[in-house]
Each structure stands twice: as C-alpha cells, then as structure tokens.
Amino acid sequence: MTAQDQIKDTVSKNDVVLFMKGTKSMPQCGFSSRVAGVLNFMGVDYHDINVLSDDGIRQGIKDYSDWPTIPQLYVKGEFVGGCDIITEMTLSGELDTLFAENGVTFDKDAADKIREANG
C-alpha cells in the first residue's frame, strides 16, 4: 500500500483525522500542539497520525492535500486546513458549525470558553 493509499484509507475511515508532528498526548511542535489542544479541549474524538514516525506519510500528506505544512486536519475525508486556519475557524465559530454539520460530537461550552479567552 502506498502512502497515498494509506492516507486515503485513514481519512475515509475516521470522521476526524489530524496529521501532526507527535501525538495528541505528546505533540512535538507548537503548531501541532495548538491544533491538538483545541481538539482535546473541545472533547473531539479524533485519530492522530504522527508524521515524524513515517517519512512516506510526512511527505505523502503534503502531496495528498497539496498543502505544504503540518499539522493538517481532515473532517469526513475533507481537508480543512492547518494551524492558522483551524485557529481562525475556532475563534469565528466556523469549526463548531463544521463539526455540527458533519455529526462530529464536541463540547460547545469548551468552544465558547476558547473564544471567550481569546476575544
């Protein structure tokens, strides 16, 4: 199975996937830590892929999405964005809407607290 096949399989079988440096419990870069922190705080059940453990996936995800940076968030098989986009979507409430429209369970109160703290 090629890296592209693995990526396609992973994003199609999991509602929410975060390709990141490190893991959800131990991020290994600030950008990955920020996105994982948002998802963790909001109580989102997501599949994390540590790109540092597989060079094929690390480059493959950039090719798959045509996006040059990591982390990368996928919801229901669709690429959503990287750290800056996820941060903006969280603060604007767009991420809440995206999760709600796709049947992804999250803690709305936690999302509101993030916006309150950053407002």
* Cβ partners under 8 Å of residue 116, min gap 6: none
Tokens encoding 90: 């969280």
At 1, the pLDDT band (50, 70, 90 cuts) reads confident
- Is the C-alpha dihedral spanning 66, 67, 71, 72 positive or negative? negative
| Ordered DSSP codes for 40-91 | HHTT---EEEEGGG-HHHHHHHHHHHT--SS-EEEETTEEEE-HHHHHHHHH
The rounded distance, in Å, linking the Cα atoms of 49 and 10 is: 9
Contact 44, 99 (CB under 8 A): yes
Domain coordinates of the chain in residue numbers?
3-118
pLDDT in tens, 31-41: 999 999 999 99
pLDDT in tens, 71-104: 999 999 999 999 999 999 999 999 999 999 999 9
Q: Is the pTM of this model over 0.95?
A: yes
pLDDT exceeds 90 at position 119: no
The CATH class for the domain spanning 3-118 reads alpha beta
